[in-house]
């Protein structure tokens, strides 16, 4: 089975721009979560999607949004980029109904905001 795929792997943007990141979960996994990882704040949960609905949300401003498609693929959007948005953005998927919340992570998208 192919793992979680995130595209692009690297991205450079300037302040004020917006960006869209993409995530394809493991086949059969219907839940997709997004995390932001920075040296200062560590790994922070952004949101989780299941059945095209946001099920859980972390403490991030409304500039961060996401969606999930009927094939479980997910996108994350950040509008009006700030320097502090520079981070590794990680997507993780999991199957539903297995009893444990074990996350399977992609390699991440490294976003640099200049």
Residues that bind other proteins (CB under 8 A): 4, 31, 33, 35, 42-43, 45, 48, 55-56, 58, 88, 90, 92, 100-108, 110
Closest CA to 103 of 46, 64, 61, 53: 46
User: The sheet that has 19-24: what strands, in order across it?
Assistant: 5-7, 19-24, 74-78, 64-68
Residue 16 CB, shortest distance to other proteins, in Å, is 26
Distance from the first to the final alpha carbon of the chain: 37
Complex with other proteins: residue 36 or 78, whichever CB lies closer? 36
Smaller CB separation from other proteins, 15 or 55: 55
Nearer to other proteins, 70 or 100 (CB): 100
Contact of 32 with 46, CB cutoff 8 Å: no
Smallest distance from other proteins to CB 58, Å: 7
| Residue 27: CB minimum distance to other proteins, A | 17
In this complex, which beta carbon is closest to other proteins, that of residue 78 or of residue 108?
108
Q: Tell me the C-alpha distance between 22 and 39, whole Å.
A: 23
């Amino acid at each position: 089975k192919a793992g979680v795929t995130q595209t692009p792997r690297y991205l450079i943007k300037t302040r004020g721009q917006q960006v869209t990141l993409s995530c394809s979960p493991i086949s059969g996994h219907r839940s997709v979560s997004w995390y932001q990882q920075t040296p200062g704040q560590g790994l922070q949960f952004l949101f989780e999607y299941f059945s095209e609905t946001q099920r859980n949300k972390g403490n991030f401003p409304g500039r961060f949004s996401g969606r999930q498609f009927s094939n479980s693929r997910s996108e994350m959007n950040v509008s009006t980029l700030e320097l502090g948005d520079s981070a590794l953005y990680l997507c993780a998927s999991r199957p539903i109904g297995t009893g444990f919340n074990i996350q399977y992570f992609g390699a991440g998208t490294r976003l640099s905001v200049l």
